[in-house]
Each structure stands twice: as structure tokens, then as C-alpha cells.
Amino acid sequence: MTVTAKRLDIQGLRAVAVGLVVAGHVFGHPVGGFVGVDVFFVISGFLITGLLLREVEEHGRISLGGFYRRRARRILPVALLSLAATVTASYVVLLQDRFERTAADAGWAAGFVANWRFAASDADYFSSALPPSPLQHYWSLGVEEQFYVAWPLVLLGLVALARRARHGRGVDVRTAVAVLAAVVVAASFAWAWVQSGQEPTLSYYSTLTRAWEVAAGALLAALAPRLTSILGPARNVLGGLGLAAIVAGALLLDGGSAFPAPLAVLPVLGAVLVLASGIGTGSSAGTGSPRVAATALLRTRPLVHLGALSFSIYLWHWPVLVLGDVLVAERTLTYQVAVLALTLALATASYRLVERPVLDSDFLRPDRDGASRAGRRVALAAVGVGVVLLAVALVVPRDAPGTPSHVATAPGSAPGEEGQQAAGRTPRQAAEDKVAGALVAGLTAEEFPALQPPLDDVVEGGINPELEPGAECLNPSSLTDPDLCWHGTGPRRAMVVGDSVAIAWMPAVMKALGPDWSVRGYGLSNCPYVDATIEIDYDPEGAARCNEARSTIHEQVRAERPDLLVLSTFEAGVLWLGESPLPRAHDAWRDAAVRAIDKMAGEGTQVAIMAPPPAGHAVEGCVSRFSVPRDCQGSPSDAWTAQAAADRAAARRTGATYVDTSSWFCLEDQCPIFAGDTVVRWDIVHVTRQYADSLGDVLRFALRPALRAVARPPATPDASVGGR
């Protein structure tokens, strides 16, 4: 009888692990539900290493072919079926640009190296301005399978060395494996601790920083025979402490935790203790084995059943949720329950029709010469269906969302401009009317018109070039090089300073200022312009870099002495000062903004503070083949309102010009995803280069108070910014 058959508590522990993951993803609670993956790593290391060690003890060797056939039987049929179904569903639901990235993700996932794909693309597990890949959860399979490519080979070599050292008189393989696993745990944990602080995204996905979790299970498996005599009371203590540690990890950890080291110790140690408490026990009545009361819940029929489904549940829940988010405007309780129901239905079907029949058959079984026809048919059918679905998704062309009989006009080509001016409208009023008319078109459209950038290419076609790597405007290679990221050759000089949201304004600023100006972008990602220490839960590395660079940035701007200094920051900045509630955060932001302006703006420098675009839906997160424009409408958040009020107050105190951008994105607090025929944002916060360019005229009028001050010489030698 296998370990999993005897250890029903392991099935229950799997159910707890997958339950935490699914609850965290679908409901957002517990926020640390992602620790369920760490529990899976420990279980996997414990079971796989135990099987390999028993093979050595029973047969004196490790069959690599047999091991990899077992892994293929266990993993490939359902993993490839889910992969193909997800790509096919993505083909039906997603826009072309996002679908193509998903198809590329599928290739990496099929090769079990998805974790490196997401690490390289900086796909932050906890926060991203773009919606996640429907295949992002395959990163954990990549970590496991990469570990198991190397681990049996290492054990094989260890067995050979041990035999040679003992001159054929027996091999104490378990001791050698225990020592090796302990070394892996120590080395990987140490590296994870270092990298979690320096490169948190890479650390989260890296096999090197996750190996210690799988190796912890392997260490326990190697020591298992020495733990069979643990007394009942001690087993209860171990089991109780283990479950408590896992639950504590789920409740206490969040996206800002140092992870996977050191804080993954909680779920990892918890899983080790639960597994240790059951070593030497059985689940069948009459075995005479001691039972562990503390983990009795894990052996109940519902949890054992869910544990059997856990692999399929894990594979299906994430694409159901991610693709569902595109089709549904918000996560209501009804929607969340529907996600759970569909996940369980798909998991049950794939388990009963694919996973279980293959595991019960002789297909690829190491100790059989042939394969049962039924098992072979099921496995080949699963792979065949996957191949067909992938082929259809990748080859068959498709149309973009339905185009209505009319195409709304863009801000730059709104009808009636001549009539407005003839009726006595000023140029400023005419420019504002163009924007308002375009927003009305976006709010009232029943279907998506032909848009710029195209919906199927919104990310690739809408990103401001100044935001691209190598442009030296955002995250420049040197903070002290004054020659980076200059545009234009005019005698007047302007600087756009802040974070990526500020840099995204550059097309609008350059068009507003015209040929008499040269403009420089100077910013760091997630780095507000204000003079305050920030804390960002999901990006501690970025916050630390910003805090360290702040004084340099302020000094460099003052040394540059631009004629015009344009400041802007993502609306979440007001939440990064560690102050709550919002009224206190408002005051802290206002004071920090005043300090920053005083430090950056010297004699002759005029300052303008631009409100950021109100955050809203990303096109890729709300536009599907079945959606309509109203699905993507949003409203300014409380954070946006608080930060805008604080910026306005700071402008009054310093004499700076405040640019209220809300009417460029929203009418009566309703904010469409496109204005006229122009997409407003390419993600949830960054304005597209096309829309930024279209706002040049209204921005020129909004900047007039500052530009007038630039045009006239200072009244006295001591005059400062804006008449402060």
C-alpha cells in the first residue's frame, strides 16, 4: 500500500493547502492563502523522496526511467489538458495582444519553466498594473519539476558514492540523504533570505530560493524511520503546532512579507510538523497504529476527497478566476461562488475522466511491460484533445470585438469646433469641449468602436516610449547624469519629475509646450516626488530604492534649474506614507509635497502639479469578446480624491500651479475606458501615448499661469517659485 493510501491525513493536508490558495485568490481572504503552495512543496518533497529511498532499500538502486514515468503519469495528462483548455478559452475571451502572451506563457508552462518566464517578465505575484496571466499558477509546477529533474540524479550519485565508501558492506543511504537535504535547506534558505530583500519578485518564483521548502520534506522523509516511535501525546503536540503554524502563516502574512524567506518558515515548518506527527500511523481501522487527535479533521471524508482533487482544483481555479474577471465587472459573492462551483466541476471531471483512470491503469507504469488499453486511450485522448485545442487556438483567425455602425470621434477631431468658436467660444473652451465630447462618446457608446491604439494591441501600441527600458527617463542608469532623456531643442527647459505616471504625461507636456521648449523626464518607478519616507507592501525593494534616491533627485532637479518643473504621482502615493485614516494621510502628503517643492525649485523655476489619471480598469482586464463599453467604466477612488486635495493645498502654499485632470478622464465621476476613438489607459494607471498627445491643447491652457511667470523676468533678485 502506498504512503498516500495509508496517510489519509496527507490528503487532508492537501485539501487545506489548496483551500487556502483558492480562498486567497477568489475571496482575497485569508490574505496569506498563498502559503498553501509552500505546504504543497513540503508534501511533495516528503512523498517523492520517501518513494526513492524505499526503492533504494528494496532494490538497491534508483530507476530513473521508472521515476520519470511515474511523474509523467501523475502530472502530464491533466496538466496538459488544463493548459490547452486555458489557451483555448483565452482565445475565445481575450484580446489578441493578451492572448498571444498567454499562448507564449503556455509554451513555457508546457516545458515546466513558467516560473522563470514570470520572474523574467517581473510578473509580481501580489501586484501589477496589468491583469495576470491565466497560466501564472503554473510557476509552482515548474519549481517542483525542475527540482525533480536534479534530485533523483543527485541521490543516484549519492548512492554510488556511499557504496564505494562502505566497500559494498551496506549503504546508510538515509543518513547521507538527510545530510544532503539539510545542506540544501540551509543553502537555499540563506540565498532566499538575501534575495527576498533585494529582488522579491525573482525570489518568489526562483527554483533556487524555493528548493529549501521541497528539501525540508525530503529531510523529513530521510529521518522518518527514527520518528516512528514518537508517543501519542508528542504526536498531538506536533500535529497541533503544525496546523497552528500553517493557519498563522495564512492569517499573518501578506504581499509585503519577506517571502519565501524568512517568513515561509511558518507554513513550511507547520507542514513538516503535521507530516511528522503521522509517521508510523495508519488510516485503516484495526491496524493498531497510534492515531493523532490533533489532526483528526484531516482524515475526515470531505477533506480526504478534496485532497484527492487538489491537483485538479489547483490547475483549474486560476484560469477560471482570471478569465472570469474579464467577463464580470466586479467580484460579487454570487460570482465568487460561481467560480468555486465551476472549479469543482472541472476538477471533478478531469479527476474522474483523466487523472484517476490513468493512475489506475498500467499506462507508463514502471513495473509493467505493457499498458492497459483503457489507460492508454485516456492518456492519449487527453493529450490529443490538448493538441487539437492548441492548434485551433493558435491557427484559426478571429475578429476583434464587434464594430458598431458609427465610429466616435477622437478628442482632436470632435465635430462642431468651428461652430463653437463662431458662437463665441474661447480657444480654451473649445479645447475643453473637445475632451468633454469625446468622454460623452465613450460613456454612451453601446459597442466598442475602432480604437487607437487597437484593442488587440493596446499594451504594445499604447505605451509611452519614454517608459520603455533604455529610454533613460524612468529608472535611468544614472541619477546624476544631466544629459539623459532630453526631448526637443528649445531654449526653455522643463523637467517632468515623479514616478512612471509622471513620465507617462510626457507626450502631453511636450505637445503643450511646443518647439520653444526642451523637456526632460526624470523618475523612478513607484517613487513619489514628495519629501517623505514611503512604505510599499508589494514593492519593498522599490520603496527602499526611492527612499535612498530621494535626496539625490531633489538636489539634481535644483541644480538643473529648469524653467518649468512638472510633478505628478500615482494616486496610491498618499497611502504609502504609513498614515491613516485618509485625512491624516492628506495632511502628511501636503506637508511632504511642500517640502519637496521647496527643495527642488530654486530661483526662476515655476512649478506645476498634475493630478494623475484616476485609476480604473485595464483594457485587458475588462474588454473581452463579449463585453460592452460600460463594463469598463470606473470612478475616482477615495485615495485619488485625498491626494488631489493634498496636492492642491500644497500648490496654494507654494504658489505652484495645480492642474486638475479629472475632467479629462471623467464626467460626473463616471470614467470611460476610451474617449472618442482613443483608449485612455493601457493599464490601470498609465495614460496611453495617444491620449496623452491628444490632451496637449487643454494642458497648454492649464499650464498658462506657470508659463506666464516663466515668460517674465523675476521681480527681484530674491524672487522664488510662483511668488512664494
Q: What residue ranges in 512-583 does DSSP mark as E strands?
A: 517-523, 564-568
Site of grid cell 525542475: 146
Predicted local confidence at residue 258, as pLDDT: 83
Predicted local confidence at residue 385, as pLDDT: 56
Predicted confidence band of residue 302 (pLDDT cuts 50, 70, 90): very high
Average pLDDT over residues 542-551: 94
Predicted local confidence at residue 229, as pLDDT: 84
Give per-residue pLDDT as tens, 240-275. Answer: 999 999 999 999 998 778 899 999 999 999 999 999
DSSP calls for 308-376: HHHHHHHHHHHHHHHHHHHHSSS--HHHHHHHHHHHHHHHHHHIIIIIHHHHHS-TT-TT-SS--HHHH
Q: What does the block give as the cell for 416?
A: 462642431
Give per-residue pLDDT as tens, 631-664. Answer: 999 999 999 999 999 999 999 999 999 999 999 9
Is the pLDDT at 571 greater than 60, yes or no? yes
Site of grid cell 490533533: 294
Domains delineated in the chain: 3-395 (no CATH), 451-615+634-656+687-713 (3.40.50.1110)
Predicted confidence band of residue 380 (pLDDT cuts 50, 70, 90): low
Give per-residue pLDDT as tens, 55-64. Answer: 988 888 888 9
Contact 335, 26 (CB under 8 A): no
Give per-residue pLDDT as tens, 22-66. Answer: 999 999 999 999 999 999 999 999 999 999 999 988 888 888 999
> Which range is most confident: 291-300, 363-372, 394-403?
291-300
Residue 689 CA to residue 19 CA, distance in Å, equals 42
**Average pLDDT along the chain:** 87
Q: What does the block give as the cell for 278?
A: 503521522
Predicted local confidence at residue 462, as pLDDT: 92
Is the pLDDT at 168 greater than 70, yes or no? no
Q: What are phi and psi of 657, to 5 degrees?
A: -90, 125
Give per-residue pLDDT as tens, 427-453. Answer: 999 999 999 999 999 999 999 999 999
Is the pLDDT at 409 greater than 80, yes or no? no
Is the pLDDT at 12 greater than 80, yes or no? yes
Q: What does the block give as the cell for 56?
A: 533504494
Give per-residue pLDDT as tens, 450-474. Answer: 999 999 889 889 999 999 888 999 9
Q: Which residues fall within 8 angstroms of residue 509, CB to CB, at 6 or more apart?
A: 494, 496, 519, 566, 699
Is the pLDDT at 580 greater than 70, yes or no? yes
Is the pLDDT at 514 greater than 50, yes or no? yes
Is the pLDDT at 163 greater than 90, yes or no? no
Predicted confidence band of residue 122 (pLDDT cuts 50, 70, 90): low
Higher-confidence position of 541 and 346: 346
Higher-confidence position of 517 and 371: 517
Average pLDDT over residues 381-403: 52
Contact 252, 266 (CB under 8 A): yes
Instruction: Tell me, yes or no, if the pTM score tops 0.75.
Output: yes
Give the range among 2-16, 273-287, 511-525 with minimum mean pLDDT: 273-287
Give the range among 200-214, 237-251, 406-420, 616-630 with minimum mean pLDDT: 406-420
Predicted confidence band of residue 231 (pLDDT cuts 50, 70, 90): confident
Is the pLDDT at 608 greater than 50, yes or no? yes
Is the pLDDT at 407 greater than 50, yes or no? no
Predicted local confidence at residue 57, as pLDDT: 87
Residue 619 CA to residue 637 CA, distance in Å, equals 18
Predicted local confidence at residue 655, as pLDDT: 95
Predicted local confidence at residue 183, as pLDDT: 96
Average pLDDT over residues 511-539: 94
For the chain, the farthest-separated pair of C-alpha atoms sits apart, in whole angstroms, at 104
